[in-house]
Amino acid sequence: SRVYLNGRFLPLAEACVPVLDRGFLFGDGIYEVIPAYGGHLFRLTAHLDRLDASLAAVRIGNPHDRATWRALLQELVATAGPGDHSVYLQVTRGADVKRDHAFPAADVKPTVFAMTHPLRAPEPARLETGASARLMADTRWARCDIKAITLLPNVLLRQAALDAGDDEAILVRDGAVLEGSASSLFIVADGMLSTPPKGPALLPGVTRDLVLELAQRHGLPWAERAISETDLRRADEIWLTSSTREVMAVTRLDGQPVGDGRPGPVWRRMAEWYQDCKA
């Protein structure tokens, strides 16, 4: 298995980036995570659209056109071998000649890096147990819609959740629950599926959009609306979604059972619809 760095495929151990890279010094870059099921990059167009949006938001010129991105990611997945993989890609503003907050000279080229990891579907037993989550104050910045590599708050929040014996932090800001530290959030209440609306406070999840598409297709009532802490605590079901964890039921919130403490019937249907469209 090889990684991609600035136009070349090479062994991971040989992939080196200069210490003056702005990704290293400033976290000045953006990333994507794309699942590849049996060699097929899933929802690639949506991920490349979001990549464009992130790059535009941080004013890094896209180093590749669509066809080049598709070809290089496809080649990377092919070299990863059979089975499912997740592709991580990141673009930083590049390596400057000195450390300076201001953008470097125009001839500094973005650093493009991509690698794959084996993607293991959650164990059936794990899916049936569901995840435990903890509500935490959102300490991130005001542009959480950008998929920036600057993830220190997310890292600290996730670790705080793990230290408390939980799987994920659910983030609350100004009374509204927004998303997990690395996942989108859904609730089911009175048969209605809800997720917070897109905006600067959360990442526009590709899996989130797919879940809404599937709800629409199968006639499950859904809404994009603000979700309060009270809504969350009263919900019949809570789900977290991401490209690497698919649709995961949350069965414990702050140590209390969600619903009857087991993944709910609406989750079960959605998880099945998701598997069907993966295939």
Which residues contribute to the site for ligand PDD (CB under 6 A)?
33, 179, 182-184, 203, 205-208, 241-244
> Minimal distance in Å, beta carbon 117 to ligand PDD?
10
By annotation, the residues acting in catalysis are: 147
Closer residue to ligand PDD in complex, CB, 95/130: 130
Residues 6+ apart with CB under 8 A from 185: 170, 177, 178, 179, 195, 196, 227, 238, 239, 240
Radius of gyration, CA atoms only, the chain: 19
Distance between CA atoms of 170 and 154, rounded to whole angstroms? Answer: 11
SS3 assignment, position 60: coil
Closer residue to ligand PDD in complex, CB, 203/215: 203
Q: Please name which of 125, 114, 86, 132 lies closest in space to residue 246, comparing C-alpha atoms.
A: 86
* Whether the Cβ atoms of residue 173 and residue 137 lie closer than 8 Å to each other: yes
Residue length of the chain: 279
Closer residue to ligand PDD in complex, CB, 155/223: 155
- Which H helix or E strand runs over 166? none
Number of Cβ atoms within 10 Å of the Cβ of 107: 6
> Minimal distance in Å, beta carbon 41 to ligand PDD?
13
> Minimal distance in Å, beta carbon 34 to ligand PDD?
8
* Maximum alpha-carbon separation in the chain: 59
Whole-angstrom CA distances from 189 to 7, 12, 52 are: 49, 46, 35
> Minimal distance in Å, beta carbon 18 to ligand PDD?
24
> Minimal distance in Å, beta carbon 205 to ligand PDD?
3
Closer residue to ligand PDD in complex, CB, 95/203: 203
Q: What is the DSSP letter of 42?
A: T
Closer residue to ligand PDD in complex, CB, 54/111: 54
